[in-house]
DNA sequence: GTCTATAACCTGATAGAC
DNA sequence: GTCTATCAGGTTATAGAC
């Protein structure tokens, strides 16, 4: 991995762990094993590097989601697979994390990938829910857009609960609650 | 309001807006209209002041929640009132915000009020859901603990969606989706 | 209680040598 | 491409006068 790439990866990690304000160029350089001059050669400054890191994280997070959402099985099954996918719930979402960073949200260029990711994810879930409704798998009274928003919120909020409790269990509980409401049947508990 | 109190209030605001790393003693002093010496006379340092601010915010947020959750009406009605209560969704939750702050979560004293708040809120909702189930208002198959976790997650995640979209509408949509799943009826939309 | 002075270190960057 | 030097300003205090 070349220097430029290491700088991007280090920035992605630090933005995830400590946010934009909590991430200094010095810390990025140390983690990447690169010097001051090296960083400023490849990027114009902290915002420029953050843009590269955020764009990459949003793309990758989207790809990981699509792996389950576009997988085999019924609509509800694919949604359940996505929500229950093995996650490090205590680390949270690298994209959702950024919404709490005022400096990121204040910069239209840094904010765009974040907004786009959530729009895509919500629409993707809504499409799947619509499909499940059409197939009779889910109730006919279901509102795809609102339900999709609720499910995405459960994932993001599940991370908050997990961090607050200091345990990934809290994430799993929230997701189980949501899936039970969605499918109206007792969730499989043997899985955990 | 005396100086000590102004320092606490300023810290609460800044922690909410910018998080722990993003909040400097200098910024606190400026907002409180207090000098350096004044701050260090009343508090031992940034962590000490943060503890006072976090404790206060957790107490107040809990009180505001109890106002709806302990209000009149059915269990489902009170939960809906809580979820739909007028909120500045773009500002998010002053307590949930702190879970994203590694320095706060790494300090057991700062972390305690956060953990306690979410435990209380989830248990409070679970009690209400249990009550609704016993009264036949909600389905007999409902799991109070998991459902409560899902609802708290929807609130916290709803803030993430609102900030990502730059619109409080996203919060309302997630909450509507969750309430529809909970009560299994079309949500009232005239309200917005 | 509040003020100013001082300090050691960090932040985010620029300049220019190599 | 990468390095070191330098810089103006911020951070998080401590010390002691008032």
Residues 6+ apart with CB under 8 A from A70: A78
HEC sequence for chain A: CCHHHHHHHHHHHHHHHHCCCCCCHHHHHHHHCCCHHHHHHHCCCHHHHHHHHHHHHHHHHHHHHHHHHCCCCCHHHHHHHHHHCCCCCCCCCCCHHHHHCHHHHHCHHHHHHHHHHHHHHHHHHHHHHHHHHHCCCCCCCCCHHHHHHHHHHHHHHHHHHHHHHCCCHHHHHHHHHHHHHHHCCCCCCCCC
Say which of A92, A155, A176 has its CB closest to residue B146: A176
- Find residues 153-192 of chain B whose CB sits inside 8 Å of chain A: 153-158, 160-161, 163-166, 170, 173-178, 180-182, 184-187
Angle between the N-to-C axes of helices A3-18 and A25-32, in degrees from 0 to 180, rounded to the nearest 10: 130
DSSP state letter for B186: P
Tokens 């009605």 belong to B77
Distance CA A147, CA A21 (A): 33
Protein CA A106 to sugar C1' C7 (Å): 34
Q: How far is CA A184 from the centre of its chain?
A: 26
Q: Quick check: B122 pLDDT over 90?
A: yes
A27 CB inside 7 Å of strand C: yes
B27 CB inside 7 Å of strand D: yes
Distance CA A137, CA A149 (A): 19
**Number of Cα atoms under 13 Å in the Cβ half of residue A118:** 32
Residue of B nearest to A172 (CA): B146
Kindly indicate the confidence band of residue A3, based on its pLDDT and cuts at 50, 70 and 90.
very high
Distance CA B141, CA B71 (A): 25
Q: What is the mean pLDDT of residues B123-130?
A: 98
- pLDDT one-digit tens code per residue, A58-75: 999 999 999 999 999 999
Q: What is the mean pLDDT of residues A126-152?
A: 96
Find out whether A144 and A126 touch, Cβ atoms under 8 Å: yes
Distance CA A55, CA A109 (A): 10
Q: What is the mean pLDDT of residues B22-41?
A: 97
Compute the mean pLDDT over every residue in chain B, rounded to the nearest whole number.
95
Residue nearest to nucleotide C2 (CA to C1'): B38
Nearest CA distance, B103 vs chain A (angstrom): 9
Protein CA A19 to sugar C1' C3 (Å): 35
Distance CA B102, CA A43 (A): 27
Distance CA A11, CA A25 (A): 9
Compute the mean pLDDT over every residue in chain A, rounded to the nearest whole number.
95
Protein CA B6 to sugar C1' C2 (Å): 15
Neighboring chain A residues of B163 at a CB cutoff of 8 Å: 99-100, 105
Kindly indicate the confidence band of residue B4, based on its pLDDT and cuts at 50, 70 and 90.
very high
Protein CA A87 to sugar C1' D15 (Å): 51
Distance CA A127, CA A133 (A): 10
Q: What is the pLDDT of residue A189?
A: 40
Say which of A153, A174, A181 has its CB closest to residue B158: A153
Angle between the N-to-C axes of helices B108-134 and B46-69, in degrees from 0 to 180, rounded to the nearest 10: 10
Superfamily of domain B57-183: Tetracycline Repressor, domain 2 (1.10.357.10)
Neighboring chain A residues of B157 at a CB cutoff of 8 Å: 152-158, 160
Q: What is the mean pLDDT of residues B98-124?
A: 98
Interchain pair B150, A115: CB under 8 A:
no
Q: Quick check: A141 pLDDT over 60?
A: yes
Q: What is the mean pLDDT of residues A156-181?
A: 98
Nearest CA distance, A60 vs chain B (angstrom): 18
Interchain pair A161, B177: CB under 8 A:
no
Q: Quick check: A188 pLDDT over 80?
A: no
Neighboring chain A residues of B178 at a CB cutoff of 8 Å: 150, 153-154, 178, 181
Find out whether A174 and A156 touch, Cβ atoms under 8 Å: no
Q: What is the CA radius of gyration of chain A?
A: 19
Superfamily of domain A56-183: Tetracycline Repressor, domain 2 (1.10.357.10)
Interchain pair B152, A161: CB under 8 A:
yes
Q: How far is CA B102 from the centre of its chain?
A: 18
Kindly indicate the confidence band of residue B184, based on its pLDDT and cuts at 50, 70 and 90.
confident
User: What are the residue ranges of helices labelled H in chain B?
Assistant: 3-18, 25-32, 36-42, 46-69, 75-84, 102-106, 108-134, 144-165, 169-183
Give, in degrees to the nearest 5, the angle at Cα A88 between A82 and A91.
120
| Three-state secondary-structure class, residue B189 | coil
Which of the two residues, A39 and B186, has the higher pLDDT score? A39
Q: What is the pLDDT of residue A192?
A: 40
Cα dihedral angle (A93, A98, A99, A105), rounded to 10 degrees? Answer: -160
Kindly indicate the confidence band of residue A184, based on its pLDDT and cuts at 50, 70 and 90.
confident
Worst-scoring range by mean pLDDT, A138-142, B47-51, B92-96?
A: A138-142
Interchain pair A150, B174: CB under 8 A:
yes
- pLDDT one-digit tens code per residue, B153-181: 999 999 999 999 999 999 999 999 999 99
């Amino acid at each position: 991995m070349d220097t430029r790439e290491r700088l991007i990866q280090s920035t992605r990690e630090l933005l995830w762990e400590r946010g934009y304000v909590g991430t200094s160029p010095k810390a990025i350089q140390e983690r990447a094993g690169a010097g001051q001059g090296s960083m400023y050669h490849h990027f114009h400054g902290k915002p420029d590097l953050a843009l590269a890191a955020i764009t990459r994280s949003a793309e990758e997070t989207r790809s990981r989601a699509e792996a389950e959402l576009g997988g085999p099985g019924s609509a509800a099954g694919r949604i359940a697979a996505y929500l229950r996918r093995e996650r490090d719930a205590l680390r949270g979402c690298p994209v959702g994390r950024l919404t709490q960073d005022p400096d990121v949200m204040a910069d239209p260029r840094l904010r765009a990938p974040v907004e786009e990711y959530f729009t895509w994810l919500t629409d993707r879930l809504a499409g799947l829910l619509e499909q499940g409704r059409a197939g009779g798998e889910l109730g006919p009274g279901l509102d795809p857009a609102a339900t999709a928003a609720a499910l995405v919120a459960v994932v993001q909020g599940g991370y908050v609960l997990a961090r607050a409790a200091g345990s990934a269990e809290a994430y799993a509980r929230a997701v189980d609650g949501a899936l039970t409401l969605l499918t109206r049947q007792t969730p499989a508990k043997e899985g955990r």
